[in-house]
């Protein structure tokens, strides 16, 4: 039950948006044990003036393609898994046409009881 909110500049092609979305989910599968089918992603296309992102903070060089990936998922992933997740997402995004400097990722955590995937049922009870 990760939920990813991906905010990208509106000038990026739908293909490139999909590249990033695919990279995010592949990273979750490879490093955090998320099933392939457990995919829930929202993509927000924002005009340039709606993404105010410092060009260099964090010792990188961001371009106008810089994108923000927010992932909410279950508490309990190790620091090593999070490090591997960041690397996996950036690497696959880079292979698909992004600069890896342009991928900013923020994680927030919740608990199993905090999810309902439908039908009004708590995921924990499935």
Site residues for its own copies per CB under 8 A: 1, 3, 7, 14, 17-18, 21, 35, 37-46, 49-54, 56-60, 62, 68, 70, 72, 79, 82-83, 86-91, 100-110, 113-126
CB of 81 to its own copies, least distance (A): 10
Q: What's phi and psi for 62, nearest 5 deg? A: -85, 145
96 versus 105: smaller Cβ distance to its own copies: 105
The span from the CA of 66 to the CA of 112, in Å, is: 31
Helix orientation angle between 79-95 and 14-32, rounded to the nearest 10 degrees: 150
Q: Give residue for tokens 């490093």.
A: 31
CB of 6 to its own copies, least distance (A): 9
Residue 81, C-beta contacts closer than 8 angstroms, at least 6 positions apart: 31, 32
64 versus 106: smaller Cβ distance to its own copies: 106
43 versus 96: smaller Cβ distance to its own copies: 43
CB of 73 to its own copies, least distance (A): 10
CB of 42 to its own copies, least distance (A): 5
The span from the CA of 78 to the CA of 64, in Å, is: 32
């Amino acid at each position: 039950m990760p939920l990813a909110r991906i905010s990208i500049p509106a000038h990026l092609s739908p293909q490139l948006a999909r590249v990033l979305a695919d990279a995010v989910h592949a990273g979750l599968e490879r490093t955090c044990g998320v099933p392939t089918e457990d995919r829930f992603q929202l993509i927000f296309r924002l005009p340039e003036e709606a993404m105010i992102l410092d060009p260099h903070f964090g010792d990188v060089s961001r371009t106008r393609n810089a994108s923000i990936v927010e992932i909410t998922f279950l508490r309990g992933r190790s620091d090593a898994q999070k490090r591997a997740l960041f690397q996996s997402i950036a690497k696959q995004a880079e292979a698909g046409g992004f600069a890896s400097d342009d991928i900013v990722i923020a994680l927030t955590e919740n608990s199993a009881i905090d999810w309902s995937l439908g039908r009004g049922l708590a995921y924990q009870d499935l």
